[in-house]
Amino acid sequence: MLEMKNAIFVFILIFEFAYGCSQQTTNEQQTSMNFRKLTPEEERVIVQKGTERPFTGKYNDFYEEGIYECKRCGAPLYQSADKFKSGCGWPSFDDEIPGAVKRLPDADGRRTEIVCSNCGAHLGHVFTGEGFTPKNTRHCVNSVSLEFARAELHDKNKTSDTAVFAGGCFWGVEYYMQQEPGVISTEVGYIGGHKENPTYKEVCSHTTGHAEAIRIVFDPSKTSYEKLARLFFEIHDPTEVNRQGPDIGDQYRSEIFYLDIRQLLTAQKLIGLLKDKGYKVATKVTPAGTFWPAEDYHQDYYRNNGHKPYCHVYTKRF
C-alpha cells in the first residue's frame, strides 16, 4: 500500500511539473508574439469568443481602401476589395487573404467559426449559400477583432522604390529584372529565415529558412511595382513548390516579400488573376523582414560570366 501511495505521489509531481512547463511555454509563446494590448470589450470578443452588438461596430458601414488586420497580432486578414454590404449588422467579406483565416467547427455545433491563422483570435463566423456575391460566401466579422490600415497612395515625388521577390535561383531572376526599363539597381541575397547574416552554404543546408531573393530598386516614373510583379510571375513557374526546374529546396520557393500595403494588394490581385486563369499558384506573400546581401560572387552573375539562365524562361501569363 505504501509503495502505491508513493507511486501516486510521484505521478502527481510529474504531472504538475509537466503542466507547469506547458503553461510556461504557452505564456512564453504568447509573449513572443507581441500581442497588442486589448480593451475589456476586445478581450471579451477576441479571446472569450463573444459577439459585439449588430450595427455598432466602427467597420460595419466603412468602405475605405486598405487592409483589415487582426486586432490582436496585426496579421493581414482581408482586403477592402472583398468587403461588401450585407445588411447583417457586422462587416462582411466574401473572401480572405489566402491562408490568413482558419475555419473551425463552432461550439454550438451548427456554425463555422473563423479565427486568425496566426494567433487564433476569434473573428466571427463564415456562411455560404446566401447569394450575396458571386463567391457565395460571407465572413461575418466583429469590428473589434479588426484594425484597418489604409492603402498608401503613390507618391508622385518619389524618385525610387523597392521590391523584393524570390523565384528560384536568384541568378536567373536578376538576369531578367536587370533588362526591365526603369530598374535602377539589383542585389541578390537571402530573406525569410531565422539566422542573422547567413552564408550561401548555410542557406543551402536547409537549416536557416531563407529564400534566395532579389532586391530591386526602380524608378516609379518609368516602371511600376505591378509591372515588375507581373514580370516576376512570367519568368518563373509560380505553381512549383520549393523548386524551380532542376533546383530543388526551400530556398528556391516562390515568394513575394511586400514592403507596404500597396504591394500586398498588388500581389494578391495578380495571384487572383492567375488563379482565375487556372494556375494553381503556390507563391507565398509575406511581410519583408531583413534582407541579407549574398556573397560578391553571386552579384550580377550572368552579366559577369556572359551566360544565360538555365532554369528561368519567360512565359506570358497575363
Distance in angstroms (rounded) separating the CA atoms of residues 177 and 197: 24
Edge-to-edge strands, sheet with 183-191:
284-287, 254-258, 161-167, 211-218, 183-191, 292-293
Residue 279, C-alpha cell as written in the block? 494556375
Q: Other CB atoms closer than 10 Å to residue 83's CB: what's the count?
A: 21
CA–CA separation, 48 and 38 (whole Å):
12
In Å, what is the CA distance from 162 to each residue of 113, 222, 283?
38, 13, 19
The catalytic residue positions are 140, 169
Neighbours of 265 (CB within 10 A): 22
Which one-letter DSSP state was computed for residue 296? G
Q: How far is CA 283 from CA 38, 72, 85, 274, in A?
A: 33, 26, 30, 11
The overall longest dimension of the chain from CA atoms, in Å, is 86
Residue 21 phi/psi, 5-degree rounding, is -65, -40
